[in-house]
Chains A and B, each alone.
Chain A
Amino acid sequence: MHYRVIHKTEYDYCESVGLSYNEARLLPRFTANQSCQAASLTIDPPPTDYSEREDFFGNRVAFFSIREPHQRFIVTATSEVQIASQFGQLDFSQGTDWENVRLSLRQQRDPQTLDALQYVLDSPFVAANAELATYAQPSFPHGRPLLEAVHDLMGRIHGDFTYDPHFTTLATPLAAVLEHRRGVCQDFAHLAIGCLRSQGLAARYVSGYIETLPPPGKEKLVGSDASHAWFSVFIPELGWMDFDPTNNQIPVDQHIIVGWGRDYGDVTPLKGVIFGGGEHELAVSVDVRNLGD
């Protein structure tokens, strides 16, 4: 599937900003079944310094600095991405049981497993704890294949939690999300990651987009008007496999990946330090066009 994504972020300041330093993780990375044919940032006002690099997790990062005094700051990321459909029919009852996966994460020393091990560890936004383990527990009976367990966990989160954009903020701790059973895609992704880490499994946070206008006959997905987030689990025989708890589905070819990390903090789309500005307003719009196969 071929998509064009236009992601526009706009900050309006009350006072003039004389200087800003920014870091954007808005350029989609390459993955096994996603190739990024073109991606660029349009920055207004134009930066005096701009450079791109790959970060610790292999995500594409743009660093830039604006010296021109401004009261409005707009970053528009335009990308064209080709996605090959993932996975055919999956048999959830197959595959290694979750306890053995947990064991092999600690015993295997091949590069891929070693790399996965870092996603078992706590991260700034997601630390495993007893409450998360308790919530996760029903999905993880003894001997259950990992794929089936995660699929079940995703379904439970989708069923138990209410999508509510007004309940949480960036600062809402995972414990509050768990207690009140409310949140947005970022919270659900964090929650699932926390549940998996509390079982000793490797899970990472994926930042990206989903198709805005669904194909005829299909329902519009939640989270399509802004950037979206889901999670990915390391399954030794399949590698990393994505799950979208907000929509209760396994992404096939409607999810465009920008980057991944331990949690939101590693893949924040746009960060900045500014001098001046006072109060500011923020508006984000995302448009994902399906350009066909």
Chain B
Amino acid sequence: MERSCLVFPGLNSFRVCMTSVFSESQQNNPDPWYPTSLDSYDEMLDGDGQIRPQWEYVIRALRTLGIPELERRGAKAAILLRENGVTYNVYGDPAGQSRPWQLDPVPLLVSSEEWGGIEAGLQERAELLNMILADIYGPRELIRKGMLPLELLYNHGGFLRACDQIALRGKHQLVVYAADLARGPDNRMWVLSDRTQAPSGAGYALENRVAMTRVLPSLFRDSHVHRLALFFQSLRAGLNTIAPPGAENPRVVVLTPGPLNETFFEHAYLASYLGYPLVQGDDLTVRDGYLWLKSLNGLERVDVILRRVDDDFCDPLELRDDSRLGVPGLVEVVRRGNVSIANPLGSGVLENPGLLAFLPGIAEHFLGRPLRLPTAATWWCGQPKELDYVLTNLDKLVIKPIYRNPSLRPVFGHLLSQQELADWRDRIRSSPTFYVGQEQEGFSTVPSLVPGGLEPRHAVLRSFLVARADGYVVMPGGLTRSAPHKDEMLVSNQAGSISKDTWVLASEPERPIELVIKPTAEQVAASQSGALPSRAADNLFWVGRYAERAEGTIRLLRSAIKKLHGDPDRSGNEYTESLHSLLRAVTQLTGTRPGFLAEDAETLLSEPEAELLSVALDETRIGSLANTLRCMVQTGYAVRDLWSSDTWRVMDDLEEHLLSAKRLVQPTLWQVQDVMDQLITSLSAFSGLVMESMTRGNGWLFLDTGRRLERSMLLLSLLRTTLVEQRRANVEILLIEALLDTSDNLICYRQHYRNNMELAAFLELLLLDENNPRSLAYQTARLQEHVGKLPREKSAARLSLEQRLALEVASTLRLAVLDELTRVSESRTRENLEQLLARLNFLLVALSDAVTAAYFRHESVPHSLTPLRTT
């Protein structure tokens, strides 16, 4: 028999050891459909290899479906999740890559009857932890009475002295709580670890559920599964409960560390699902003892924070002074009771494995009875007898630090050499209060879909609780994660575990509850107008600009490639001259100098393929198409909560096309053209969705302002590089044709002017025609409208700087006289045209700067004062 082990490092670190013999299991259980070992408890099969009652219906249905079909459903779920942007960011990945979320379509089933016991056990545990938390930052009676050693608490990094004597009103300090559960050898559910800081996973559980109801709709419906929606209603109710007195309609925000955080997807998802603004530390500011959101309409008071930033990072003044994720002065606002945080700052103190050793005594003290849900036996080394026990039995125990620390992972005694054991004994002896020894327990397996069939995998269930005024509400279900392999197995999100939906089976059908909570009218109004953080507006503005820039780049690249490969007559000087002019425009427009504008660009111009490929695909090159798209997707991701799911799906398509282009081995311009065609389709879908389905609030206004500004500037740049200098008539005809094609105006032009390529007509259509949606005049008219609608102080009677600039742009263009623009000077340049274009460009840059200055408050980065040393 071989011992195999399950390791859960990172967020929830523990190790499970069990015995399993998969080789023998075939003999034990002849069913090839689920070859399981019967040595450890299996969730589906009982000791006699019989399917447990709660699994019968589901497993029969899955069997009828068959493995190939189940695999297809699994793949469909994967696509759904990916399209919804469900990801998990992996730290330490230089490209900042996010990992698609993996969902096994076979759920973990729990009977209603058993769940009742688990639920009661979790509620009881949450109540107890709540009392401990209240005591730790309050009277510290547990320490005075000797039920909790002072060293265990005071040596823990999560004990924040700045938060001493701060309490939320009401009886609950621990607002949200998560516990990792697994079934032990005694058939009972055990608590493996407690999450009290900023538990993650509830949003993923919800996304899993949404995907499952899509891919296995009838099975889900007929299985009478408890719904999750009520839990999120309770979360909202719970957050309202803790709001400071006087906040009638409390403003709640979700505080995230930002898009690089591993669970950023979930932060954005929850914010959007619950209807709360998603904010980062610098979106908030402390003023006069209150916390404010820097929104487009000015400062708006914040009453409650749903916190996803670790507590010690929340205030650089009173907590970690190296933090850039927090809000200076926040602790003081909390202290004065003017903002409530869930979970409160300092709640990470409960994430201390040493606490487990004292829980039984504390439970007796507070509750008068032992806890229902067992935990692994734990010895805290800060006591002499316990220290002796741990040192003697080190080779059978798991060594854990009392405080989560990336450099201190749990260590498994039985894997250590004699030398390593001796080293560990020294280390523990030198600072015993920092370590615990914990017993290793064996835990159950669940059927999991692997290529070709079902196999047992060890799994952990994370369950979620939230405090309401009347007590803790447990999510009926949760996030199950299973090990990806059957041997030495790492189960953590960082290491790539596979998630499962968790079905708590009701004995009778439940009244269906709308999964999507309808936000109240005020919330919609709030989330769509005033509460838009200026950082979000900034990002939307840039999504608009990047989207337009990407589209413009593609259109020009396509024209250039078409000319290079597709022109029927490729011999003449005129052809060459017009091609070169277009190539130079590529460099100019994308800002990828020197490129075709280099002094000695002759060779490059005659062999342009490599440079064109680079401008299209080289993501490291600023201004390249790939780079622009990457910027667009990243900027879009930072405001993930503001996109509809359809819009996000299009963003995801862009990312996919980008990745497929990246995978091309020795790409050719033909292939690039294919990719660009797909990209144009996605970009058009994006614009379409933005136009058709985005509420015309401030967010849309900024996005479209960005888009119009960029389109105007691209057009100006294109005209200035190609048409200011007069060329031979035939060259100009070729150029005009190419530019019409680039700007998607060729058909329109031909309808008006047939095939008569003439500069005046061209300029009329592209610059001055306010009815042509691709003309400059059209863009500037929209800009003028938009700028007039941007939020500003009501009292302001005069035009704002932005309004004045937009007005000047539009008027300058309207006052232009076509005949003058086409006039050529002695030096064969169209000086009037150049002057106009240059002036317009200057004004548009000034307009962009003015919008940025007025709405996107970029305060300087805060930093700590150097204190003086005491000498």
Contact = CB atoms under 8 A, between A and B. Distances in A.
Interface stretch (A48-56, A85-93, A142-150): A48-56
Contact of B860 (A21, A122, A264, A275): A275
Interface in A2-53: 9, 11, 18-19, 21-23, 48-49, 51, 53
A272 B865 contact: yes
B151 A121 contact: yes
A114 interface: yes
B161 A229 contact: no
A170 interface: yes
A56 B164 contact: yes
A21 B868 contact: no
B865 A114 contact: no
A55 B865 contact: no
A49 B289 contact: yes
Interface string B299-324: 00000000000000000111001000
Given A18-B859, A268-B867, A280-B865, A56 B162 contact: yes
Contacts of B520: none
Given A111-B144, A121-B154, A184 B866 contact: no
Contacts of B865: 11, 22, 270-274, 280
A220 interface: no
Contacts of A49: 287-289
B199 interface: no
Interface in B834-871: 859-871
A114 B318 contact: no
**What interface size band does chain A fall in?**
35 or more
A9 to B, nearest CB: 7
A268 B317 CA distance: 12
A236 to B, nearest CB: 17
Interface stretch (B246-254, B328-336, B684-692): B328-336
Contacts of B285: 19
A282 interface: yes
Contact of A55 (B161, B328, B433, B861): B161
B405 interface: no
Contact of B329 (A65, A118, A122, A280): A65
Nearest to A67: B287
A251 to B, nearest CB: 15
A156 B155 CA distance: 30
B75 interface: no
Interface string A193-229: 0000000000000010000000000000001001111
Interface string A244-279: 000000000000000000001010111111111100
Nearest to A169: B869
B159 to A, nearest CB: 10
Contacts of B164: 55-56
B286 interface: yes
A223 B859 contact: no
A23 B868 CA distance: 14
A186 interface: yes
Interface in B490-513: none
Chain A CB count within 10 A is highest, among B155, B287, B864, B870, for B870
A7 to B, nearest CB: 11
Contacts of B431: 122
A177 to B, nearest CB: 12
Interface residues of B, number: 39
B288 A9 contact: no
B143 interface: yes
B429 to A, nearest CB: 12
B61 interface: no
Nearest to B153: A118
Contacts of A207: 870
A23 B315 CA distance: 12
Contacts, number: 118
Nearest to A13: B865
Interface in B134-152: 143-144, 146, 150-151
Given A56-B161, A56-B162, A63-B332, A269 B150 contact: no
A117 B151 contact: yes
Contacts of A53: 335
B426 to A, nearest CB: 11
A292 interface: no
B286 A21 contact: yes
A109 B864 contact: no
Contacts of A268: 867
Contacts of A175: none
A284 interface: yes
A278 B826 CA distance: 53
B195 to A, nearest CB: 26
A226 B286 contact: no
B863 A226 contact: no
A108 to B, nearest CB: 11
B867 A170 contact: yes
Contact of A274 (B143, B318, B862): B862
B438 to A, nearest CB: 23
A288 interface: no
Contacts of B288: 48-49
Nearest to B336: A51
B871 A21 contact: no
Contacts of B860: 18, 275-276
A127 to B, nearest CB: 9
A186 B155 contact: no
Contacts of A271: 317, 321, 864-865, 867
Contact of B871 (A109, A114, A226): A226
Contacts of A22: 317, 865
A21 B328 CA distance: 7
A282 B866 contact: yes
A185 interface: yes
- 9 A-B pairs closest in CB distance: A272-B865, A273-B328, A56-B161, A184-B871, A21-B329, A21-B328, A229-B870, A186-B870, A56-B164
24 contacts: A11-B865, A18-B860, A21-B286, A21-B317, A22-B865, A23-B317, A23-B318, A49-B288, A56-B162, A57-B161, A63-B332, A65-B329, A111-B144, A121-B151, A121-B155, A170-B866, A228-B871, A266-B161, A271-B317, A272-B865, A273-B329, A274-B863, A280-B866, A284-B868
Given A229-B870, A284-B868, 15 more contacts: A21-B286, A22-B317, A23-B318, A117-B150, A121-B433, A122-B155, A185-B870, A226-B870, A264-B870, A268-B867, A269-B868, A272-B865, A274-B862, A275-B862, A282-B866
Interface of A: 9, 11, 18-19, 21-23, 48-49, 51, 53, 55-57, 63, 65, 67, 109, 111, 114, 117-118, 121-122, 165, 168-170, 184-186, 207, 223, 226-229, 264, 266, 268-277, 280, 282, 284
Interface of B: 143-144, 146, 150-151, 154-155, 161-162, 164, 285-289, 316-318, 321, 328-329, 332, 335-336, 431, 433, 859-871
